[in-house]
Copies of this chain bind each other. A is one copy, B any other.
Amino acid sequence: MKTKLIQPTASAYAYPLLIKNILNTPLIYSPEQKILYRDQMEYDYKTFGQRVEKLANMLQERGVRPGDTVAVMDWDSHRYLECFFAVPMMGCVLHTINIRLTPEQLIYTINHAEDDVILVNEDFLPLLESVKDRFETVKQVILLTDKKETPQSSMELAGEYEALMADAPTGYEFPDFDENTMATTFYTTGTTGLPKGVFFSHRQIVLHTYGLMSGLCAYDTQASLNSSDVYMPLTPMFHVHAWGLPYFMTMLGAKQVYPGKYEPETLLKLILTHKVTFSHCVPTIINMLVTSPVINQVDLGNWKVVIGGSALPQGLCREALKHGINIYVAYGMSETCPLLTVANIKPKFKNKSEDELVELRCKTGLPVPNVNLEIIDYNGNPLPHDGKSAGEVVVRSPWLSQGYVKDEQKSEELWANGWLHTGDIGVIDSEGYLQITDRLKDVIKTGGEWISSLELENIISQHEAVKEVAVVGIADEKWGERPLAIVNLREDRIDKISAEDIKSFCMTFVEKGMLPKYGIPSRIVLNETIPKTSVGKISKKDIRDQYR
Most B CB atoms within 10 A — which of A178, A182, A206, A369?
A369
Q: Among residues 429 to 476 in chain A, which have CB atoms less than 8 Å away from a CB atom of chain B?
A: 431-432
Tell me if B226 and A218 are in contact (CB < 8 A).
yes
**Given A5-B69, A5-B405, A67-B5: A15 touches B396 (CB 8 Å cut-off):** yes
A213 smallest CB distance to B (angstroms): 5
Tell me if B398 and A17 are in contact (CB < 8 A).
yes
Tell me if A402 and B9 are in contact (CB < 8 A).
yes
Inter-chain contacts of A368 with B (CB < 8 A): 25
A269 smallest CB distance to B (angstroms): 25
Inter-chain contacts of A69 with B (CB < 8 A): 5
Q: Mark A153-170, 1 if CB is under 8 A from B, else 0.
A: 000000000000000000
Pick from B7, B227, B369, B418: contact of A219, CB under 8 Å: B227
- State the majority secondary structure of interface residues on A: loop
Q: Interface with B: A28-36, A75-83, A317-325, A481-489, which one?
A: A28-36
Q: Mark A347-369, 1 if CB is under 8 A from B, else 0.
A: 11000000000000000001111
A260 smallest CB distance to B (angstroms): 26
Inter-chain contacts of A33 with B (CB < 8 A): 347
A199 and B5 alpha carbons, distance in the complex (Å): 9
Tell me if B219 and A218 are in contact (CB < 8 A).
no
Tell me if A219 and B252 are in contact (CB < 8 A).
yes
Please classify how large the interface on chain A is, using the bins under 10, 10 to 19, 20 to 34, 35 or more: 35 or more
Inter-chain contacts of A214 with B (CB < 8 A): 210, 213, 251
A10 lies within 8 A of chain B by Cβ = yes
A256 smallest CB distance to B (angstroms): 14
Inter-chain contacts of A15 with B (CB < 8 A): 396-398, 400
A14 lies within 8 A of chain B by Cβ = yes
**Given A219-B227, A405-B5: A347 touches B11 (CB 8 Å cut-off):** no
A130 lies within 8 A of chain B by Cβ = no
A220 and B219 alpha carbons, distance in the complex (Å): 15
Inter-chain contacts of A366 with B (CB < 8 A): 28-29
Tell me if A14 and B402 are in contact (CB < 8 A).
yes
Q: Mark A217-255, 1 if CB is under 8 A from B, else 0.
A: 111100011111000000000000000000000011100
A444 smallest CB distance to B (angstroms): 29
Inter-chain contacts of A480 with B (CB < 8 A): none
Inter-chain contacts of A344 with B (CB < 8 A): 29
Inter-chain contacts of A397 with B (CB < 8 A): 15
A134 lies within 8 A of chain B by Cβ = no
Inter-chain contacts of A226 with B (CB < 8 A): 217-220, 224
A259 lies within 8 A of chain B by Cβ = no
Inter-chain contacts of A543 with B (CB < 8 A): none
Inter-chain contacts of A516 with B (CB < 8 A): none
Pairs across A and B, CB under 8 Å, 5 listed: A8-B182, A9-B402, A10-B180, A29-B366, A218-B218
Which 3 residue pairs across A and B have the least CB separation, nearest first?
A6-B67, A8-B180, A28-B432
